[in-house]
C-alpha cells in the first residue's frame, strides 16, 4: 500500500511512502509519528491503522487542522509497540 506523506511546502507535492518503509522505520526505532497528506483517502488510512494493529502495534490516529480553510488539515498517526 502506498500513502502520501504530508507536504513540506504549501504548494509542493506530497511524497509517496509505502507501508513496508514505515515497518522498516518502526523496526529501527520502535515508535514513530507520521504525518500524512489530506489527499489520502480516509479508507486507506484506516486500512493502514488496521494493518499495524493486527501486527501488535498501538496506533493513534487524528486529524490536525492548521488553518481556517476547510482544506487546511493533515493526518497524524503515532505508531508504537
pLDDT at residue 3, rounded to an integer: 97
| Burial class of residue 16 (count of CB atoms within 10 Å of its CB; 0-12, 13-18, 19+) | exposed
pLDDT at residue 38, rounded to an integer: 94
Q: How many helices (H) and strands (E) does the chain have?
A: 2, 5
pTM: 0.91
For 25-58, the pLDDT digits (tens) are 999 999 999 999 999 999 999 999 999 999 999 9
Separation between Cα atoms, residue 49 and residue 65, nearest integer Å: 20
Q: What percent of the chain has pLDDT over 70?
A: 100
The answer to whether residue 11 scores a pLDDT higher than 90 is no
| pLDDT greater at residue 36 or residue 70 | 36
Amino acid at each position: 500500500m502506498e500513502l502520501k506523506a504530508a507536504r513540506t511546502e504549501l504548494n509542493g507535492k506530497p511524497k509517496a511512502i509505502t507501508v513496508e518503509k514505515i515497518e522498516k522505520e518502526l523496526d529501527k526505532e520502535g515508535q514513530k509519528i507520521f504525518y500524512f497528506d489530506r489527499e489520502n483517502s480516509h479508507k486507506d488510512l484506516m486500512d493502514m491503522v488496521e494493518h499495524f494493529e493486527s501486527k501488535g502495534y498501538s496506533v493513534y490516529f487524528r486529524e490536525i487542522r492548521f488553518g481556517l480553510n476547510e482544506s487546511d488539515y493533515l493526518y497524524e498517526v503515532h505508531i508504537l509497540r
